[in-house]
């Protein structure tokens, strides 16, 4: 299972040795991003072996005409695809007349990749003997600037080891690219201007239909033995391509470097007509700083991120590498600067899932960003959904809902639903509840109530309306029921009364009404604005509350558990332990009907509810439900192990918690699912962070205070993490001997540890 070629290291991801079979996987694992753009770790120079090329720009997508087998009313017409963007990293390298191509060299040795997570750069180096017997050493260092987020920089070094060599560097821009996952081989980009000036070139393209204008630019510098060379390149351009060719002679042992600054300026951030001049300006600024100075800034920027976000694990280098990889990738993907952006499940590492927004953000990612960044970042994520409220209302209207009820999309780029599977698109409606939960979670953590009157309440009202309309009254049960849904366990479809969905629906209505009351009494102006806009009256509120009050929850007296859905006990309840290994993963081995009628659970479903609403259940109830459901859970979603890890820790089952933790933290590094070449599982990485902080550390917010129940896996000597809580930064250090807390800031902080109150003074160490 474990492909295990990544060298253990505390701070870097390291690959040693060149293996054609690993190239696509490594392209994913060594991906870099800066929140605004990103790319797979494709080689700069020509490579004719198997590769999956990908460069991506945040927020730039294409509405690819959807492909379905059998159309159903209500299906959206398109699926928003993250676009493979024009390639700016390419550098063709020719040595003594031979094009460098690792797939064709006589020998390749000392091949090494390093993704330095501490400092935010990626480097690849190797020795090669060309077919013309020139021996060379190549080292390429690349990063995407956090400071100038429209710029990336490459330092490409070539040393001739055995003879004099004529080296040609041909850095290029290529807008003639496609997506691997197009539905109908449509053309996604229209390139309309290719220009060059001196050492720079620019290509302006726009996306078809969505009309995002992007200028892809590059500016190059040539060095020999560290000295900048004043040479003029030979230019080649065509409709979608521009290259600048540099020639340099190197003696044996001498090194030449090409510094390439490149990247994108986008009409999302500039006037359309200014993108080319903006590109020129920012590349000029970068090149004038120079590669090394820009890299220094990069190191400082990452250092600042790590200061808050790092988790230190003592005594387990692979675990340490795993958690840092997760934290690093989350920060590469989303930095919270722009409320138009969100966290795609593959980040900037691949095309799969369309790179759009899922409920993963609300259910899994927000806690990480709340605890490791300024609270505005989480607020931006909430605002993203507020900005999409009108589209969510339209989406609900397509399904027959009225009166401002909203259904947030399963998959989206701009607020419109993209996904087309009726059992998901129309029925996996629990996602709507996650939107309200995220608001509650934000308020609970940050204490910032202002979001609710300003934006949140409107979202909550529209969602409560949805649940009100979606529930129907069963005269047979004399309760409100919610029929025909898919829960978080997507291995059951079109089920009735999914406990998690019903519970969320009831809670969303009640929490909404609670906040209507509060806003009414404390934020009169906002209240009046909202009521005028939503036309919400007391009669409707009463009707909603009736649905909440009389909501039906399937329950088994025999097992003393809430049932995942009405029919769960009719299934053949054979636990995963008793399922032959040859049958797994069931989603690759079984036909869909067999999966659906099996008791096997893809990811936490009832337990997802117990995770989100932990306070509302006793530990005994949690234990009973965990013991009932986990044995049927196959964890075939990357989002599954983290919730179970947290709950196992809560139940003092540290061995089990640790096993789940391992499964989540190195999922991609060790390629458990044999699919890392398609890209990384970005959103589930937030779950890994939760496994440590909420699971082992036991972090909760109770009564506006942080609460901890620190535990530690026996395999570790210690671990430490930081949380930003209401402008105090608390450093928590857990070891086998005990826990210490260290508070930054000016005010003391009252916390709970294992249920007891402690007051921590600023800038002092407290041991428990």
Is 50 or 400 the residue whose CB approaches a copy of itself more closely?
400
Distance CA 406, CA 396 (A): 5
| DSSP secondary structure letter of residue 525 | H
Kindly state the smallest distance separating residue 229's Cβ from a copy of itself, in Å.
Answer: 53
Mark 482-521 with x for binding to a copy of itself (rule: CB under 8 A) and - for no binding. Answer: -xx--------xxxxx------------------------
Binder of a copy of itself out of 297, 399, 531, 576 (CB under 8 A): 399
Closest CA to 262 of 229, 244, 284, 238: 284
Q: CB of 422: closest distance to a copy of itself in angstroms?
A: 4
Nearer to a copy of itself, 9 or 566 (CB): 566
Give the Å distances, CA to CA, from 574 to 163, 559, 597, 598, 603.
69, 15, 12, 9, 17
CA 203-206-208 angle, 5° bins: 145
Least distance between a copy of itself and beta carbon 73 (Å) = 5
**Residue from 539, 593, 615, 746 in contact with a copy of itself (CB under 8 A):** 593
DSSP 12-48: EEEEES--GGGHHHHHHHT-EE-SSEEE----SS---
Considering only 7, 398, 518, 546, the residue that binds a copy of itself (CB under 8 A) is 398
**Are the beta carbons of 416 and 76 closer than 8 angstroms?**
yes
Contact stretch for a copy of itself (CB under 8 A) within 15-23, 251-259, 394-402, 686-694: 394-402
Among 65, 228, 300, 477, binds a copy of itself (CB under 8 A): 477
Work out whether 673 is an interface residue with a copy of itself (CB under 8 A).
no
Q: Which of 594, 702, 717, 747 binds a copy of itself (CB under 8 A)?
A: 594
Nearer to a copy of itself, 554 or 641 (CB): 554
Q: In angstroms, what is the minimal distance from the CB of 362 to a copy of itself?
A: 22
Contact in structure between 201 and 244 (CB atoms under 8 Å): yes
Residues 527-566, one symbol each (x = binds a copy of itself by CB under 8 A, - = not), give: -------------------------------x-------x
Toward a copy of itself, which CB reaches closer, 256 or 598?
598
Nearer to a copy of itself by C-beta: 437 or 568? 568
| Residue range at the interface with a copy of itself (CB under 8 A); choices 350-358, 469-477, 523-531, 756-764 | 469-477
CA–CA gap between residue 768 and residue 765 (Å, rounded): 10
Please name which of 37, 30, 34 lies closest in space to residue 294, comparing C-alpha atoms: 34
Residues in the chain: 768
Neighbours of 340 (CB within 10 A): 15
Cα dihedral: 589, 591, 593, 595 (round 10)? 10
Cα distance between residue 432 and residue 409, in whole Å: 8
Q: Please count the residues of this chain forming the interface with a copy of itself, following the rule CB under 8 A.
A: 49
CB 468 to a copy of itself: min, Å: 14
d(CA 739, CA 363): 28
Judged by CB under 8 A, does residue 232 bind a copy of itself? no
Is the distance from CB of 480 to CB of 473 less than 8 angstroms? yes
602 is in an annotated binding site: yes
Residue among 192 and 592 whose Cβ is closer to a copy of itself: 592
Q: Does the annotation list 254 as a binding residue?
A: no
Residue 359 among known ligand-binding residues: yes
Residue 229, annotated as binding a ligand: no
Active site residue: 15, 490, 678, 694, which one?
A: 490
Task: Note whether 476 binds a copy of itself by CB under 8 A.
Answer: yes
DSSP 53-94: --EEETT-EEEEEP--SS--TT--SEEEEEPPPPB---EEEE
**Measured CA distances, 634 to 599, 626, 685 (Å):** 10, 14, 19
Q: Are 491 and 537 in contact (CB under 8 A)?
A: no
Taking CB under 8 A as the binding criterion, the range among 52-60, 130-138, 368-376, 594-602 that sits at the site for a copy of itself is 594-602
Check if the beta carbon of residue 56 is closer than 8 Å to that of residue 38. yes
For a copy of itself, which residue of 48, 234, 472, 759 counts as binding (CB under 8 A)?
Answer: 472
Print the binding letters for residues 415-454 with a copy of itself: x by CB under 8 A, - otherwise.
-----xxxx--xx---------------------------
For 274, counting Cβ atoms within 10 Å of its Cβ (0-12 exposed, 13-18 middle, 19+ buried), the class is middle
Cβ proximity to a copy of itself: between 591 and 703 the closer is 591
Cβ atoms of 172 and 242 closer than 8 Å: yes
C-alpha dihedral (557, 559, 564, 569), degrees to nearest 10 = -90
194 and 218 Cβ atoms separated by less than 8 Å: no
Stretch that binds a copy of itself, among 88-96, 319-327, 472-480, 536-544 (CB under 8 A): 472-480
Q: Quick one: 481 or 508, whose CB is closer to a copy of itself?
A: 481
490 is catalytic: yes
**Shortest Å distance, C-beta 721 to a copy of itself:** 38
- Candidate residues 11, 473, 613, 758; the one interacting with a copy of itself per rule CB under 8 A: 473
Instruction: For the segment 711-750, give every residue that binds a copy of itself (CB under 8 A).
Output: none
- Cβ contacts of 418 within 8 Å, gap of 6 or more: 66, 76, 78, 79, 80, 354, 356, 409, 410, 411, 412
Site for a copy of itself, residues 608 to 667, rule: CB under 8 A: none
Which residue number, 574 or 750, has a Cβ lying nearer to a copy of itself? 574
Q: What are phi and psi of 109, to 5 degrees?
A: -135, 170
C-alpha span between 53 and 413 (Å, rounded): 22
Member of 1, 2, 70, 746 binding a copy of itself (CB under 8 A): 70
Crossing angle of helices 457-470 and 389-398, rounded to 10°: 10
Q: What is the 3-state secondary structure (H, E, C) of 457-522?
A: HHHHHHHHHHHHHHCEEECCCCEEECCCECCCCCCCCCECCCHHHHHHHHHHHHHHHHHHHHHHHH
Q: Please identify which residue in 277, 474, 656, 740 interacts with a copy of itself, judged by CB under 8 A.
A: 474
Contact 434, 446 (CB under 8 A): no
- Contact range with a copy of itself by CB under 8 A, out of 24-32, 93-101, 478-486, 726-734: 478-486
The span of 24-32, 37-45, 66-74, 729-737 binding a copy of itself (CB under 8 A) equals 66-74
72 to 101, contacts with a copy of itself by CB under 8 A? 72-74
Measured from the CB of residue 600, what is the shortest distance to a copy of itself in angstroms?
Answer: 13
DSSP-assigned letters across all residues of 424-443: HHTT-THHHHHHHHHHHHHH
CB of 68 to a copy of itself, least distance (A): 4
Closest CB 564 distance from a copy of itself, rounded Å: 13
Nearest-approach distance from CB 414 to a copy of itself, in angstroms: 20
Residue among 625, 577, 572 at smallest CA distance from 598: 572
Pairing outcome for strands 227-229 and 739-744: unpaired
Kindly state the smallest distance separating residue 648's Cβ from a copy of itself, in Å.
27
Kindly state the smallest distance separating residue 628's Cβ from a copy of itself, in Å: 14
Contacts of a copy of itself in 562-591 (CB under 8 A): 566-567, 569-573, 587-591
Nearer to a copy of itself, 483 or 531 (CB): 483
Residue with tokens 């001739």: 160
Question: Site for a copy of itself (CB under 8 A): which residue of 596, 622, 651, 766?
Answer: 596
What's the CA gap between 50 and 22, in Å, rounded? 9
| N-term to C-term CA, the chain | 40
- Residues in the annotated binding site: 359-360, 602-603
- Residues in the annotated binding site for substrate: 359-360, 602-603
- Please identify every residue annotated as catalytic: 490
Positions in the binding site for a copy of itself (CB under 8 A): 66-70, 72-74, 398-400, 420-423, 426-427, 472-477, 481, 483-484, 493-497, 558, 566-567, 569-573, 587-594, 596-597
């Amino acid at each position: 299972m474990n492909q295990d070629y990544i060298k253990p290291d505390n701070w870097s991801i390291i690959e040693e040795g060149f293996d054609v079979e690993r190239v696509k996987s490594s392209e994913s694992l060594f991906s870099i991003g800066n929140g605004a753009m990103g790319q797979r770790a494709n080689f700069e120079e020509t490579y004719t072996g198997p590769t999956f090329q990908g460069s991506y720009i945040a927020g730039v997508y294409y509405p690819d005409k959807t492909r379905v087998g059998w159309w159903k009313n209500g299906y959206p017409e398109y699926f928003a695809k993250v676009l493979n963007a024009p390639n700016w990293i390419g550098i063709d390298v020719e040595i003594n007349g031979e094009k460098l191509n690792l797939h064709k060299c006589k020998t390749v040795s000392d091949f090494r990749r390093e993704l330095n997570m501490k400092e935010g750069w990626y480097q690849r180096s190797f020795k090669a003997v060309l077919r013309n017997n020139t021996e060379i050493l190549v080292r390429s260092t690349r990063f995407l600037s956090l400071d100038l987020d429209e710029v990336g920089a490459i330092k490409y070094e070539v040393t001739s080891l055995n003879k004099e060599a004529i080296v040609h560097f041909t850095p290029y821009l290529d807008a003639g690219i496609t997506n691997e996952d197009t539905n109908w081989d449509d053309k996604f980009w229209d390139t309309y201007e290719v220009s060059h000036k001196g050492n720079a070139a620019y290509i302006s393209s726009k996306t078809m239909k969505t009309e995002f204008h992007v200028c892809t630019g590059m500016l190059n510098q040539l060095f020999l033995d560290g000295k900048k060379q004043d040479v003029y390149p030979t230019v080649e351009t065509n409709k979608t391509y521009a290259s600048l060719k540099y020639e340099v002679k190197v003696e044996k042992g001498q090194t030449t470097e090409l510094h390439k600054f490149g990247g994108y300026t986008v009409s999302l951030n500039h006037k359309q007509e200014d993108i080319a001049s903006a590109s020129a300006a920012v590349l000029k600024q970068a090149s004038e700083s120079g590669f090394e100075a820009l890299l220094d800034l990069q190191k400082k920027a990452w250092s600042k991120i790590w200061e808050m976000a790092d988790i230190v694990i003592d005594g387990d280098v692979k675990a340490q590498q795993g958690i840092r990889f997760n934290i690093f990738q989350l920060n590469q993907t989303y930095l919270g600067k722009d409320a138009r952006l969100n966290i795609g499940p593959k980040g900037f590492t691949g095309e799969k899932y369309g790179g759009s927004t899922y409920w993963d953000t609300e259910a899994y990612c927000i806690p990480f960003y709340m605890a490791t960044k300024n609270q505005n970042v989480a607020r931006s994520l909430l605002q993203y959904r507020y900005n999409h409220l009108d589209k969510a209302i339209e989406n609900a209207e397509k399904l027959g809902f009225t009166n401002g009820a909203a259904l947030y999309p399963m998959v989206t780029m701009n607020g419109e639903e993209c996904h087309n599977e009726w059992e998901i698109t129309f029925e996996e409606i629990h996602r709507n509840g996650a939107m309200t939960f995220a608001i509650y979670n934000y308020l609970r953590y940050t204490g910032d109530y202002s979001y609710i009157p300003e934006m949140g309440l409107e979202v909550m009202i529209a969602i409560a309306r949805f649940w009100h309309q979606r529930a129907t009254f069963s005269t047979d049960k004399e309760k409100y029921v919610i029929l025909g849904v898919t829960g978080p366990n997507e291995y059951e479809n079109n089920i009735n009364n999914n406990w998690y969905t019903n519970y969320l629906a009831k809670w969303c209505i009640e929490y909404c009404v609670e906040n209507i009351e509060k806003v009414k009494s404390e934020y009169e102006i906002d209240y009046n604005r909202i009521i005028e806009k939503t036309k919400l009256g007391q009669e409707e509120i009463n009707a909603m509350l009736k649905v909440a009050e009389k909501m039906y929850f399937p329950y088994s007296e025999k097992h003393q558990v809430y049932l995942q859905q009405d029919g769960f006990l009719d299934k053949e309840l054979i636990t995963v332990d008793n399922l032959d290994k040859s049958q797994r993963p069931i989603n690759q081995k079984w036909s869909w009907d067999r999966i659906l009628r099996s008791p096997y659970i893809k990811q936490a479903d009832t337990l997802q509810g117990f995770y989100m609403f932990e306070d509302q259940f006793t530990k005994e109830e949690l234990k009973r439900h965990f013991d009932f459901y986990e044995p049927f859970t196959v964890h075939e979603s990357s989002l599954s192990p983290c919730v179970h890890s947290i709950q196992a820790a809560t139940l003092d089952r540290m061995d089990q918690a640790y096993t789940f933790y391992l499964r989540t933290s190195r999922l991609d590094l060790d390629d458990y699912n044999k699919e890392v070449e398609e890209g990384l599982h970005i959103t589930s990485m937030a779950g890994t962070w939760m496994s440590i902080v909420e699971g082992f550390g036991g972090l909760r917010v109770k009564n506006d205070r942080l609460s901890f129940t620190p535990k530690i896996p026996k395999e570790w000597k210690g671990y430490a993490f930081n949380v930003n809580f209401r402008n105090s930064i608390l450093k928590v250090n857990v070891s086998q001997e005990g826990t210490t807390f260290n508070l930054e800031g000016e005010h003391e902080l009252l916390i709970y540890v294992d249920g007891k109150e402690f007051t921590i003074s600023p800038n002092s160490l407290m041991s428990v």
